[in-house]
Structure 1
Amino acid sequence: MRSLAATLFVMAGVAPAAAACDAFTGVIEAFNAGDEQKAQSIAETAGTANCSANERTLVGRVAALSSFNRIATDVGNGGKLVDHRADLEMLQKKYGGPWQVFDALGDLARERKDYEEAAKLYQIALEDGSNTTLTPDWMAPDEQYILRLDRLAGEMRLAAPRPVKLAMRGGCKVSFRGVAIKKKSTPVRYVFGTADFTPEGVEAAKDLAECLKAVKPSAIKLIGHTDPVGGADANYALSLARADTLKAYLHDTGYAGTITTIGKGEDEPFKPDDASAYDTETLNQLNRRVEVDVQ
C-alpha cells in the first residue's frame, strides 16, 4: 500500500507557454511562487478577465492545485489527510477539480469504508486527469498513477454494496492519455451458489453492456472467479457458468463482437491494495468477480 504522502505528492513543476488570458498567466506565476492567497484571488476575478471558458476553468484548477500542494506538504510532514477534508471538499465544489483533489477525497472515502463514494471519486480522478483540455500535460498523472487510479476505482466498485458505473464523466474508455487499460473487474453479483444475477447484478451487467456499446471492441474475454468457499471443482464450474451467463446477457443486449469465457474458480484471488482494510466477507466479495479483457 502506498502512503498518503507518496500518493499526494503529484505536483505541477513547470508552467506551460504563456496564454492570452492575463489571469491564467498570473495564476501560474502565483502557483510557482507558492502564493496560495494570490492564486485564489486571481481565480475569483477570472470570470471578468479576457479569458475563454476553458481558460477560466483552468485558472480555478491551478488555484485549487496551489491549495492542494499546501495540503500535500502538510501530509508529507506527518499531518493527517482527514484534517483537510473540509478544504478538499471546498476545492471540489468551487473549482470542480483538479484530479488530485478527487484522488485525495477518494483516499478519505476509502479510509472511512465508503467504498461506493470512493469508487466514484477515483473514477472521476481518472477521467478528469485524462481531459487534455482541462488537465494539460504538465499537471497530468503519469502512466503509473493512471494505472493506480484505475486499479483503485475497480477495487472500490467490487467492494461497494451497490453498483457503481464504469464511467462518471462521458463515455467509457479503455485508454487514458495513451495508457491502455484493457482489463476491468466488474461487480456483477449473482445469487449465492448459482449463475443467476441478483437485481444488483442485472444493473451492473447493464452498465457493462452500455460501456461495450461505447467502446465497440471486436472481441472480449470474460474470466470468472469465485471466493474460496466450497470445493475447488464446484467453484471452477460456477465461475465458468457465471461468465457464460454474462456472455449471454451481453449478446442479448446487442454486443455483436466475439466473447470467449474462461473459469478460474478460486485459483486467482483478488489482490487488494490493502487486504487488512477488509473483513473476510468483503474479501470474498472482491474474489467473486468477472474480469472483462478487451481484445
Structure 2
Amino acid sequence: MKNILIIILVLTSSCTTIKKEKLTRSVKISSSCLDYQSSVEQAIKQSDFESLEKFLYILNRQADCSVSYVDNVKRSMAQIAAARADKLIQQQRIKTAKTWLKRAPITTWGTQAIYGDIAVYRHQWQLAARFYNQAIDLMRDKQATPQAPEPASIRQLLKLAYQTQILTTGSQSIFGKIRGVAPENIPIQFSFATTKLDSQTKKFLQQLANYIKQQNITKLTLIGHTDTKGNHAINDKISKQRALAVKKYLEKVGVTANINIKCKGKRQPLQLVHAIIYTPEQINALNRRVELIL
C-alpha cells in the first residue's frame, strides 16, 4: 500500500510538472513582474487570450506584481472573451459562446451583458434583465470598472435592460446618469388601447418625480407613442392622451418643471437592439409608451 501511494505521488508530481511546462513553454521565466509587462501589453493589443492565460499563471506567482495590475490583466482577458463570445452569438453558436465567457478570469460588465444577450436569444427575458442590470451595476462601480465605458455602450445597455424588463414585469426603473451618461430617453409603458396609468407605472413615476426634483430639472418633454395597430387619427389621439396622463400625474406628485407635450402616434417605432428576436406582439408592447426627455 505504501509503495502504491509513493507511485501515485510521483505520478501526480510528474503530471503537475508537465502541465506547468506546457503552460509556460512559450514564456521566458523571470523573477520580476516588470519583465513581463511589455509582452503582456502586446498580447492584449493582439487579443491573444491564450498567451494571456499563460502570463496570468506566472504573474499570480510574482511577489512584486500588484493586485491592481493583475486585475487589469484579468479585465482585459474578460473583454477579449466577451468579444469572442459576442461574435459566436451572431453565428448562433451559443454553447461555444458560453464556453468563452466561462474562461474569463473575472466578472465584468461586458461578460454579464453577453450573458444577457444569450438569454435574449433563448427568450429568457427575466434572466436577460437580471444579467443586464448586473452589467449596469458593474458599470456604475468604479472599482469594478476603473475606466468608464464608451457612452454608446452605456446607452445600448440601458436600452437592453429596459426592453427585457418591460417584457418581464411590465415596468422599468432605470434612470439617472451612469458614469456621466444620461439615458437618451426614459420610456413609460402603457397597456393595449389604454391611456390610464397602472399601479406599477404610478410607482415608477413617483420615483422619477423624486429624481426630477432632486436634480432641480426645470424643463422636460413628454412624447406619446402607440403600437402599429389602428389608423393615424386614432393613434395620434391615444398618444396625446398618454402623454397628458403622465404630465398630470407628475404635476400631482409635485413636479414643477415646465412640461412640453408631443404626440407621434405610430410614426416613430422604438429602435430595438434585437428586433429579429421579438415577436410582433412583444414589439407592439414595447411601442406603447411615453418617452420622457430630460
Q: Is the 8 A contact 1:126 1:149 kept in 2?
A: yes
1:150 correspondence with 2:152: no
Q: SS of the counterpart of 2:254?
A: coil
Change (3 A) 1:25 1:206: farther
Contact 1:65 1:98 survives alignment (8 Å) = no
Q: Deviations over 1:216-258 (max 9, x none)?
A: 4221111111112234222212111111111122222232322
Q: Deviations over 1:175-223 (max 9, x none)?
A: x55555442323x334x43321223323433343344345442211111
Q: Which amino acid aligns with 1:105?
A: Y
Mapped pair 1:36 → 2:53: yes
Give the 3 Å change call, closer, same or farther, for CA 63–250 of structure 1 in structure 2. Answer: same
**Distance apart, 1:32 and its partner CA:** 5.0
Is residue 99–residue 129 contact of structure 1 (8 Å, CA) maintained in 2? yes
Alignment partners' CA distance in 1, 2:115 and 2:208: 25
- Pair 1:72 & 2:83 matched: yes
Partner SS, residue 35 of structure 1: helix
Give the alignment partner of residue 122 of structure 1, picking from 117, 132, 153: 132
- Contact 2:228-2:266 at 8 Å conserved across structures: yes
Structure 2, gaps ≥5 residues long: 1-31, 44-50
In 1: Cα distance, 2:260 partner to 2:288 partner: 19
Instruction: State the identity %.
Output: 24
Counterpart in 2 of 1:239? Answer: 239
Task: Tell me the TM-score normalized by structure 2.
Answer: 0.67
> Structure 1's 277 and 70: CA in aligned 2 closer, same or farther, altered over 3 A?
closer
**Aligned residue type for 2:246:** L
Q: Choose 1 or 2 for highest CA Rg.
A: 2
* Distance change (3 Å), C-alpha of 1:161 and 1:132: closer
What is the distance in 2 between the residues matched to 1:195 and 1:90?
48
Structure 1 residues 126 and 74, CA, compared in 2 at 3 Å: closer, same or farther? closer
For residues 1-150 of structure 1, the aligned pairs below 5 Å read: 30=40, 32-33=42-43, 34-39=51-56, 59-60=70-71, 62-70=73-81, 72-73=83-84, 76=87, 80-85=93-98, 88=101, 95=106, 97-126=107-136, 128-129=138-139, 132-137=142-147, 140-150=148-158
Q: Counterpart of 1:251? A: 251
State the partner residue of 1:12. Answer: none
The residue matched to 2:276 in structure 1 has which SS? Answer: helix
Contact 2:86/2:97 (CA < 8 Å) preserved in 1? Answer: no
Task: Tell me how many residue pairs correspond in the alignment.
Answer: 254
Residue 291 of structure 1 deviates from its aligned partner by 0.6
SS at match of 2:265: coil
CA contact (8 A) 1:222 1:293 kept: yes
Mind listing any 5+ residue stretches in structure 1 that lack a counterpart? 1-21
Cα distance in structure 1, aligned partners of 2:35 and 2:143? 16
1:284 is displaced (CA, Å) by 0.7
What residue number does 1:183 align with?
Answer: 185
Q: Tell me which moved more, 157-166 or 244-253.
A: 157-166
Q: Is the 8 A contact 1:89 1:105 kept in 2?
A: no
Give the conservation status (yes or no) of the 8 Å contact 1:68–1:88: no
Aligned twin of 1:230: 230
3-state SS of paired residue (2:187): strand
The alpha-carbon distance between structure 1 residues 164 and 75, as it changes in their structure 2 partners (threshold 3 A), is closer
Distance, in Å, in 2 between the alignment partners of 1:213 and 1:228 is: 34
Q: Note if contact 2:221-2:259 (Cα within 8 Å) is conserved in structure 1.
A: yes
